[in-house]
Protein backbone atom coordinates (compact mmCIF):
# COMPACT_ATOMS: atom_id res chain seq x y z
CA UNK A 1 0.00 0.00 0.00
CA UNK A 2 1.41 3.37 -0.92
CA UNK A 3 1.82 6.25 1.51
CA UNK A 4 -0.92 8.11 -0.38
CA UNK A 5 -3.34 5.34 0.51
CA UNK A 6 -2.77 6.06 4.20
CA UNK A 7 -3.73 9.75 3.98
CA UNK A 8 -7.01 10.80 5.51
CA UNK A 9 -9.66 12.25 3.29
CA UNK A 10 -10.70 15.88 3.22
CA UNK A 11 -13.88 17.18 4.81
CA UNK A 12 -15.76 20.34 3.97
CA UNK A 13 -19.19 21.80 4.64
CA UNK A 14 -21.40 22.31 1.58
CA UNK A 15 -25.01 23.55 1.74
CA UNK A 16 -25.68 22.36 5.29
CA UNK A 17 -24.02 18.98 4.72
CA UNK A 18 -20.62 17.47 5.30
CA UNK A 19 -18.77 16.35 2.21
CA UNK A 20 -15.80 14.03 2.53
CA UNK A 21 -13.45 12.96 -0.24
CA UNK A 22 -11.26 9.87 0.11
CA UNK A 23 -8.82 8.83 -2.63
CA UNK A 24 -6.87 5.65 -3.21
CA UNK A 25 -4.49 4.35 -5.85
CA UNK A 26 -4.99 0.72 -6.86
CA UNK A 27 -2.38 -1.04 -8.97
CA UNK A 28 -5.11 -2.62 -11.09
CA UNK A 29 -6.76 -1.52 -14.29
CA UNK A 30 -10.00 0.42 -14.24
CA UNK A 31 -12.12 -2.59 -15.28
CA UNK A 32 -10.90 -4.62 -12.30
CA UNK A 33 -11.68 -1.77 -9.87
CA UNK A 34 -15.07 -1.21 -11.51
CA UNK A 35 -15.87 -4.91 -11.06
CA UNK A 36 -15.11 -4.61 -7.32
CA UNK A 37 -17.60 -1.74 -7.07
CA UNK A 38 -20.40 -3.30 -9.11
CA UNK A 39 -20.34 -7.11 -9.09
CA UNK A 40 -22.25 -8.64 -6.15
CA UNK A 41 -19.89 -11.61 -5.83
CA UNK A 42 -16.96 -9.20 -5.45
CA UNK A 43 -18.76 -6.62 -3.29
CA UNK A 44 -19.50 -9.21 -0.64
CA UNK A 45 -15.74 -9.60 -0.05
CA UNK A 46 -15.25 -5.99 1.03
CA UNK A 47 -18.59 -4.23 1.42
CA UNK A 48 -21.74 -6.28 2.01
CA UNK A 49 -24.07 -8.84 0.47
CA UNK A 50 -26.56 -7.38 -1.94
CA UNK A 51 -26.44 -5.80 -5.33
CA UNK A 52 -26.77 -2.72 -7.44
CA UNK A 53 -28.83 -2.52 -10.62
CA UNK A 54 -26.33 -0.99 -12.99
CA UNK A 55 -28.39 1.82 -14.46
CA UNK A 56 -29.52 5.26 -13.39
CA UNK A 57 -32.69 4.73 -11.36
CA UNK A 58 -31.73 1.13 -10.53
CA UNK A 59 -32.00 -0.32 -7.04
CA UNK A 60 -29.01 -0.26 -4.66
CA UNK A 61 -29.57 -2.81 -1.88
CA UNK A 62 -26.91 -3.86 0.62
CA UNK A 63 -27.34 -5.73 3.90
CA UNK A 64 -24.71 -5.19 6.58
CA UNK A 65 -25.87 -8.07 8.74
CA UNK A 66 -23.26 -7.57 11.48
CA UNK A 67 -24.29 -3.98 12.14
CA UNK A 68 -27.97 -4.26 11.27
CA UNK A 69 -27.67 -1.54 8.61
CA UNK A 70 -29.70 -2.12 5.46
CA UNK A 71 -29.25 0.12 2.45
CA UNK A 72 -32.25 0.35 0.16
CA UNK A 73 -31.81 3.22 -2.27
CA UNK A 74 -31.58 4.16 -5.92
CA UNK A 75 -28.67 4.66 -8.30
CA UNK A 76 -28.56 8.40 -8.94
CA UNK A 77 -25.57 8.52 -11.31
CA UNK A 78 -24.17 5.81 -13.56
CA UNK A 79 -21.49 6.17 -16.23
CA UNK A 80 -19.52 2.91 -16.59
CA UNK A 81 -16.68 2.40 -15.92
CA UNK A 82 -16.01 5.72 -14.23
CA UNK A 83 -18.98 6.84 -12.09
CA UNK A 84 -21.46 5.19 -9.73
CA UNK A 85 -23.54 7.03 -7.13
CA UNK A 86 -26.28 5.91 -4.78
CA UNK A 87 -27.49 6.94 -1.35
CA UNK A 88 -26.16 5.32 1.80
CA UNK A 89 -29.67 5.27 3.27
CA UNK A 90 -32.98 3.52 3.37
CA UNK A 91 -36.45 4.92 2.62
CA UNK A 92 -37.49 7.59 5.10
CA UNK A 93 -33.90 8.48 6.02
CA UNK A 94 -31.96 11.54 4.86
CA UNK A 95 -30.01 11.01 1.66
CA UNK A 96 -26.32 10.25 2.15
CA UNK A 97 -24.86 10.09 -1.37
CA UNK A 98 -21.89 7.81 -1.93
CA UNK A 99 -20.13 8.67 -5.19
CA UNK A 100 -17.48 6.34 -6.63
CA UNK A 101 -15.25 7.64 -9.41
CA UNK A 102 -12.53 5.68 -11.16
CA UNK A 103 -9.88 7.08 -13.48
CA UNK A 104 -7.03 5.28 -15.20
CA UNK A 105 -3.60 6.57 -14.19
CA UNK A 106 -0.08 5.33 -14.84
CA UNK A 107 0.24 1.89 -13.26
CA UNK A 108 -3.38 1.51 -12.20
CA UNK A 109 -6.52 3.35 -11.19
CA UNK A 110 -7.31 6.36 -9.02
CA UNK A 111 -10.42 5.62 -6.94
CA UNK A 112 -12.22 8.61 -5.46
CA UNK A 113 -15.03 8.20 -2.95
CA UNK A 114 -17.11 11.27 -2.12
CA UNK A 115 -19.55 11.06 0.80
CA UNK A 116 -22.23 13.51 1.79
CA UNK A 117 -24.12 13.39 5.07
CA UNK A 118 -26.31 15.83 7.00
CA UNK A 119 -24.38 18.25 9.18
CA UNK A 120 -26.04 16.88 12.35
CA UNK A 121 -24.59 13.39 11.78
CA UNK A 122 -21.18 12.03 12.79
CA UNK A 123 -18.91 12.62 9.78
CA UNK A 124 -15.91 11.16 11.63
CA UNK A 125 -17.76 7.86 12.08
CA UNK A 126 -18.83 7.81 8.43
CA UNK A 127 -15.33 8.53 7.15
CA UNK A 128 -13.77 5.96 9.48
CA UNK A 129 -16.23 3.30 8.33
CA UNK A 130 -15.45 4.00 4.70
CA UNK A 131 -11.70 4.05 5.42
CA UNK A 132 -12.10 0.53 6.82
CA UNK A 133 -14.13 -0.61 3.80
CA UNK A 134 -11.54 0.86 1.43
CA UNK A 135 -8.87 -1.14 3.25
CA UNK A 136 -11.06 -4.23 2.78
CA UNK A 137 -11.48 -3.41 -0.93
CA UNK A 138 -7.73 -3.08 -1.39
CA UNK A 139 -7.16 -6.46 0.26
CA UNK A 140 -9.99 -8.14 -1.66
CA UNK A 141 -8.77 -6.93 -5.06
CA UNK A 142 -5.41 -8.55 -4.21
CA UNK A 143 -7.20 -11.82 -3.49
CA UNK A 144 -6.67 -11.71 0.29
CA UNK A 145 -9.98 -10.53 1.77
CA UNK A 146 -9.94 -9.35 5.38
CA UNK A 147 -12.58 -8.85 8.04
CA UNK A 148 -13.69 -5.36 8.99
CA UNK A 149 -10.54 -3.74 10.44
CA UNK A 150 -12.03 -2.35 13.65
CA UNK A 151 -8.69 -0.98 14.84
CA UNK A 152 -8.37 1.04 11.61
CA UNK A 153 -11.92 2.28 12.16
CA UNK A 154 -11.13 3.43 15.70
CA UNK A 155 -7.86 5.21 14.89
CA UNK A 156 -9.20 6.98 11.81
CA UNK A 157 -12.39 8.01 13.63
CA UNK A 158 -10.28 9.77 16.25
CA UNK A 159 -8.18 11.40 13.54
CA UNK A 160 -11.27 12.62 11.68
CA UNK A 161 -12.75 13.97 14.92
CA UNK A 162 -9.74 16.25 15.22
CA UNK A 163 -10.27 17.50 11.66
CA UNK A 164 -13.89 18.54 12.22
CA UNK A 165 -13.44 19.81 15.80
Q: The domain 3-164 is classified under which CATH number: 3.30.530.20, 3.90.580.10, 3.30.70.980, 3.20.20.70?
A: 3.30.530.20
Report the predicted TM-score, pTM, of the whole model to 2 decimal places: 0.93
Bridge partner residues of 17 (DSSP)? 14, 118
Predicted pLDDT of residue 70 = 87
DSSP-derived letter for residue 27 is S
| Separation CA 58–CA 75 (nearest Å) | 5
Predicted pLDDT of residue 24 = 97
Residue pair 100/118 in contact (Cβ under 8 Å)? The answer is no
Predicted pLDDT of residue 4 = 64
Residue pair 95/87 in contact (Cβ under 8 Å)? The answer is yes
Predicted pLDDT of residue 5 = 67
| Regions in the chain scoring below 50 on pLDDT | 1-2
Strand order across the 108-118 sheet: 10-14, 17-26, 108-118, 97-105, 83-87, 69-79, 59-64, 50-52
Amino acid sequence: MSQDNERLGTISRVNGRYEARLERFLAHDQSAVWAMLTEPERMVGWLAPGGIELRKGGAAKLDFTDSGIVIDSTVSEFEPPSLLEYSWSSPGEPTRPVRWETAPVAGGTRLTLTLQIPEDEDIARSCAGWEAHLMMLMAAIEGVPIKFPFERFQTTREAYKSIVA
